[in-house]
Homo-oligomer: A and B are copies of this chain.
């Protein structure tokens, strides 16, 4: 049994990760940290875990380092920088769910996160943890930078065509809709029930921090410098993320051709499902699962050419965060890639 620790376990991501790991056949959770709740039974904070004997402990790295071989970090940005470095230097493997090691460039990091990155050599070592595009590197990575939720839904929607010459890589628009759990558990007026319920709004238009992350990976896939337009929206639901992606085609292409590209690209992928023609992804259909459902449509009406419309749906806390993290661990340790992720989600 692999010994794992979760650093920062009192948020929605940490709690969801714990849930998956407790149900994993090859893993033993030996520590979960939380400053606020240190000393308390996890079962008293997260009522869905009342039958678990684990307690939150405070983040004492010297003690923790003896307890586990793999560390999941669900810490705030900034804090993760040092912690990853410490654990890495101590010879431990790390899956970091923060944004701190996702961007390869310390300069871009500083530009978007407004603080310097103090460990830029480690940025080079870190592997962007989206298995569908970097599975081989993940296998031997010592630091896996687990992707952000919006990037997962956007990149999986676009990955199959990024290397194709029929798309105009300058025309990518990503319009995403997210459930409220993405905003975290800390009390804040904009995420109170009466503010979110019965409303939909856009936010961080043109300035959301997931933008450079999406661009980095799309650039990697297309071998070109990609810039995107990205607009996130807040939806009155707990979980779920839907991205509607628009790409102009440069030359006439049949829908069936594009669909074939998608099916081949994701052939054998355990968690990506290309839906039947004319079927629509819904976040409820992937809620509680690690699946990403994708449908593609082709608009042929415009005089200027065709537009590809790609719709992808994930559970933002699973494929968009903790589910991906478990999938990455499975790859890193040679477990069955679906281990701990096979239970069909409840519905409705």
Contact = CB atoms under 8 A, between A and B. Distances in A.
B188 A187 contact: yes
Interface string A306-326: 010101010001000000000
Interface in A96-134: none
Contact of A229 (B52, B309, B317, B348): B309
A299 interface: yes
A327 interface: no
A201 B173 CA distance: 18
B48 A285 contact: yes
Interface stretch (A59-67, A68-76, A135-143, A175-183): A175-183
A162 interface: no
A281 B50 CA distance: 12
Given A344-B23, A344-B49, A242 B233 contact: yes
A173 B205 contact: no
A213 to B, nearest CB: 14
Contacts of A23: 342-344
A82 interface: no
A302 interface: yes
Contacts of A293: 47, 50
Interface string A1-42: 000000000001001100100110000000000000000000
Given A238-B197, A280-B202, A302 B170 contact: yes
Contacts of A280: 201-203, 205
A50 B348 contact: no
A169 to B, nearest CB: 10
Interface centre among A227, A280, A344 (most CB of B within 10 A): A344
Given A303-B170, A347-B46, A198 B311 contact: no
7 smallest CB-CB distances across A and B, nearest first, come from A47-B285, A199-B284, A201-B282, A194-B348, A193-B196, A170-B304, A187-B187
